[in-house]
Structures are given as C-alpha cells and as structure tokens.
Amino acid sequence: MNLKRLEYFLVVVEEGSISAAAQRLHLTQPPLSQAIRALETELGARLLERRPRGVAPTEAGRQLARDGAQLLQWTDKIAHRIREVGEGRAGSLQVASVPTFAWTHLTPLLRAYRGLAPDVSVELSDPDPAGVLGMVAEGRADVGFVATADVSRLASAFPGLHVRFLVDLPLVLVVSSGRRVAGLRDLESETWIVPAAIQGFPGLDELTEQFWRRNDVTPARIQQVSTLQTALPLIAADMAVGLLPRDGFEVVGGQVAAIDLALDIPPLRAAMVWSAEMQPAPSLDLLFQVIDQAVADAAI
C-alpha cells in the first residue's frame, strides 16, 4: 500500500472535504482526487462517497481509516526505532570481559553507557581470555576486555583484532585472611595459584614467573586455574596463595587479604579488543565515546 496515498485519504476523512484536505496538504484538488482514486484501485474498493456537503467514507473507507491510522503510527514508531538503532541508542551490544576487568572497571563504564544508550540491550559474558578473544574474532561479541602482561605483544599476536590499552591493574600477593606472613620464604612451601598459559597470550602466568625470578622464589607446588574467580575460594580456604589484581579480591568479602612486603610486582594491563575486519556497530561507537571520556577524565 502506498503510504502517502493513505496519509492523503486520512486527511480527507478528517476534513470531510477534498477541497479542505487539499488546502491543508498544500495541494490542488485534481492531484489529490487522483491519489484517492489510485488508492481505491490499489485496494479494489470504493473508499469515499459524495455527500451534498463534502465526502464521507464508505464502510470500506471507515475500516481503512481505523486500520490506516494505526498503520501510520506503527510506521512512525518503526522509523524512530531505526533512527535510534542507526545512532547507536537502541539495539544490542554483546560484551565479553574477563572478571579481572569486570570486577571493578566495567561497571562505571556500563553505567555511563546506559546514560547515552538507555534502550540498548547489553549482553555480558565472562569467559577466560582465550574465550574473549575468540568471541570477538568470530563476531559473537562486539567488544572484549582482557588483562594482559603486554599490550603490544597481544596486538602482534592477534592481527585480526584492534587492541587498546585502558588502565593498569596493580597486582598484590594474596593469602587467606588473618594469616601472618613475615616474608616470602614463609610461602615457598605453599601451593601457588597460576592461571593456565594461553598460546600467544601474555598473561598473569608470565608476570607470576617474573615475580618468582625477581624475588628468588621457588614454589613447592603450582596449581593452574582457568580463571581468577576459581583461585579466590582456594586462597580464602588457606589452600593456596597467589598474585591477584589489587582491586578485585574484595569480591569474596574479606576472606582473603593482601600482604604488604614492599614487593616490586609488575601490573597487569587492561585492554579493550574489537574486530579489525568488521565495521563497529553504532552501539559500539557510543561505548567508544564513553571510554574515551573515561580515559580523558582518568575515571577508569
């Protein structure tokens, strides 16, 4: 159905006169009458009947007036929705983030993002670093956040992804809450938690090994875990020790604690990754704006 003709018809019905409708639409009567006849031909029904004063809709015309008004309202809503999606203010955004970043840094970013795009549905997943990179590379996530030992090496190892450094994540040595530790030698006999190495990904496993070398530590036992949230219950139960992001271990409610031994521990570096092969969706462009502002304000 030609929506412009439908719009003309509804104005004619409202005015009850072709001449009055033509004046309202800034048309002359002949093209308006022609548009109404074309609509009748298109629908196969007579829509208007002449009266001594003006015109009135037929039964088919009354039905069209009811349904047509709703159709135009829905058309306006659809057009508005499409504009919002095109501007990034509606639609969906798939985010994949390692817990190391999501624990403390992702929440304020998403809160600010919601202020710009309240109608965007954000879907969040928390795989390990390899999962984040895979989801972004395969298009199953629009953007990902990882914690790496070396942003430059990460970018070189995954040329299909854009990689952007965001913020340092300082590391601390964490033990079960209440445990007394006089020095690192007290912990050499303990089980040390280390994230499993991921091929091509410089992660916390490398930083932990650097820490051991710098401080001449030889752990008695090493236990690998897939993600750091796996490490927290083990450390809280006094079954292991390990390096964790300073701002993250509070999620277990005081069951673990950082020990202050004036240690020189290199930080993890939080990085954002997104596809280098696909054009960012408008909803992702808005998230970029939020992150740009947060970086400029040192609020990340």
The mean pLDDT value for 114-120 works out to 89
pLDDT category at 76 given cuts 50, 70, 90 is confident
Residue 80 has pLDDT above 60, yes or no: no
Distances from the Cα of 145 to the Cαs of 59, 124, 158, 187, 195, in angstroms? 61, 11, 14, 32, 17
Which pLDDT score, from 0 to 100, does residue 229 have?
A: 79
Q: What sign does the CA torsion over 139, 144, 147, 148 have?
A: positive
pTM as predicted: 0.72
Which pLDDT score, from 0 to 100, does residue 52 have?
A: 83
Selected residue with higher pLDDT from 172 and 252: 172
Residue 100 has pLDDT above 90, yes or no: no
The mean pLDDT value for 248-260 works out to 75
Mean pLDDT of the chain: 89
pLDDT category at 127 given cuts 50, 70, 90 is very high
Q: Of all residues in the chain, what percent are helix, strand and coil, respectively (each to 5)?
A: 45, 25, 30
Which pLDDT score, from 0 to 100, does residue 92 have?
A: 87
Tokens read off for 28: 């002359």
The mean pLDDT value for 146-161 works out to 95
Residue 10 has pLDDT above 80, yes or no: yes
Collapsing DSSP to helix, strand or coil, 239 comes out as: coil
Q: Of 73-77, 196-200, 280-284, which range is least confident?
A: 73-77
* CA distance linking residue 101 with residue 271, whole number of Å: 9
Exposure of 92 in the CB half-sphere (CA atoms within 13 A): 5
Tokens read off for 163: 């990689």
pLDDT category at 123 given cuts 50, 70, 90 is very high
Sketch out the chain's domains with CATH numbers: 3-86 (1.10.10.10), 95-164+273-296 (3.40.190.10), 171-266 (3.40.190.10)
